[in-house]
Structure 1
Amino acid sequence: MKKDIKFVYFDVGGVLFRWREVLIGIAVKHKRPVDEVLRVYAKHDEAACRGIITYQKLWENMYADLGISSGKDFDFFNFSMKKFTPIIETHRFVKETAKHLPVGLLTNIHHGVYDHLRESGNIPDINYTTVVQSCLLGKVKPEKEIYHHAQKKAKVKPGNILFIDDFAINVEVAQALGWNAVLFDTDSPARSIREIRKWIKNS
C-alpha cells in the first residue's frame, strides 16, 4: 500500500552505531556469561535513560551487581565511548535521506552521551529537524508518551512518520500508534536499509 512518508525518525544505539560489543567485551574479560552482563546492564539502563542516574553511576551499579572491581576513579564514560563503532551503511543512508525528507532522532539515551556521539562521529553530522532524548523527558520507549512527544515535534500525522528501531517492542508500539515502522537488524544493516528504502520509494 502506498504510504505518504513526510518524516523519518531513526533510533540511535543499534541503528547508527554498535554498542553491545562493550558489554560482550566486559563479559569475556571478566569471564562472565554474556547474558548475565546484558541482564544486569538492562536493570540499571532504564534509570539512566530516564535521566535519574548518571552514566557513570549506571556502570558503577552494574559492576557492583556483577561483583567486578573497576579500580578507583575509573572513567566508565570514556571507556565505553571508545568502544562504540559507527554503522557506516546507516550513516550514508541518513545523509541521503536528509536531502529530501526531514530526519529526526528518537532515542533512549543517557545524559551527556548524545553530544559525545556527535563529536566522535558515531552519529551522522547533519542538521536534524528534531532530536528526542529520553533522559531530557523522563520518558522512555516503548512508553506512548515519548512517541506522542516525538509526533508533536515532527508536526505531521502518525501515518506520515517512518520510524526505524532495533527493538521489536519499540517498533510494535509505534505501529499501534499509527506510525510506519521498520525493525532494524544491527547485524545486517544493508538488508535493513533495503527494506527502509521500499517505504520511502513508495511514499
Structure 2
Amino acid sequence: MSGDSVPAEIRAVVFDVGRVLVQWDMRHLFARLIDDPARLDWFMAHVVTEEWHFEHDAGRDLVEMVAARKAQFPGHDDLIDAYATRFLDTIPGNVPGSHEIVRELAARCVPLFAITNFASSFWSEFRASQPLFDLFGDIVVSGDVKLVKPDPEIFELASRRFGHRPGSMLFVDDNAANVAAARTLGWQVHHFTDAARLRADLLKRGLLG
C-alpha cells in the first residue's frame, strides 16, 4: 500500500530499518544452534520472542533481561547468551532493492532520515558495519531515546530533530501500526511491502526520476 495521495511537496524521506532496509529474523540465528525443528519452534515461541526483544528496543537493560530470562527458562543459558552476543546473525542480508533506492534518493539530494526500533548496544554494533547510513542526516534509535514506534512521542521527537514538518516528510515502514500512527500525526506514509512498490510510489511522487 502506498500513500493515500500525491502531496504537493516532500522535503525528506524517513525510513524504518528492519525489514525495510535490512532483513531481520531471529530464527536465522537460532536455526543454526537448535537442530530439532519442534524445539526450535518452541524456543522462538516462548523464550527468545519478538515481544521480549522489543523490551530491549525500548531501553530495558540487556544484562538484566538476560539474567531474568535465564531464571525463567533454566537450561537454555547458552542460547539466551547467543541472543546477547550474536545479534548480527539475526540480520541475514539487505532487503532486495532498498539500498539502491536510498542511494538514488541521496544522489538527487533528497534529505534522508530514519526512525528505528533498535536497542542501543545492538545498533552501535550494526551501524559500524553499514556505510549506507552515512547518507542519512539523522537516525532516531528507540534504545537511545527510550521511546518506541508506534508511540506518537517518537514521531514528534523525530520531527523536531529532523527539522521538517510531518506533512513534508514521507515515512516508510513495514509495520501497519507504525504507519497508522505516523499518518494520524500528519506524516505522508508508505506501508512498505517490497522495493518495487516503494520505487513506484517514489516515482509517482516525483522523488525518483
TM more than 0.5:
yes
> Which string of whole-angstrom CA distances, capped at 9 and with x for unpartnered residues, describes residues 140-173 of structure 1?
1000000000011121111101011110000011
Structure 2: which 5+ runs fail to align?
1-5
Which one-letter code corresponds to 1:105 in the other structure? A
Displacement of 1:43 in angstroms is 2.7
Aligned-pair RMSD on alpha carbons?
A: 3.0
Tell me the equivalent position of 2:161.
153
Tell me the equivalent position of 1:166.
174
Tell me the equivalent position of 1:198.
204
Tell me the equivalent position of 2:145.
137
Is 1:103 the counterpart of 2:112? The answer is yes
Aligned residues with identical type, % of pairs: 24
- Which of 27, 46, 51 aligns to 2:54? It is 46
Which one-letter code corresponds to 1:164 in the other structure? V
Which range moved further: 189-198 or 58-67? 58-67
Displacement of 1:189 in angstroms is 2.8
Is 1:13 the counterpart of 2:15? The answer is no
Distance 1:200 1:45, change over 3 A: farther
Which one-letter code corresponds to 1:110 in the other structure? A
Displacement of 1:118 in angstroms is 2.4
Q: TM-score, normalised by structure 1?
A: 0.80
Q: Which SS does the other structure have where 2:60 is aligned?
A: coil
Query: Any conservation in 2 of the 1:44–1:62 contact (CA below 8 Å)?
Result: no
Aligned equivalents of 1:35, 1:171: Cα separation in 2: 31
Query: Any conservation in 1 of the 2:66–2:81 contact (CA below 8 Å)?
Result: no
> Which string of whole-angstrom CA distances, capped at 9 and with x for unpartnered residues, describes residues 18-59 of structure 1?
112x325636744247597257523312321121222x6656
Query: Any conservation in 1 of the 2:69–2:80 contact (CA below 8 Å)?
Result: no
Aligned equivalents of 1:72, 1:182: Cα separation in 2: 36
Displacement of 1:136 in angstroms is 1.2
Aligned equivalents of 1:35, 1:15: Cα separation in 2: 27
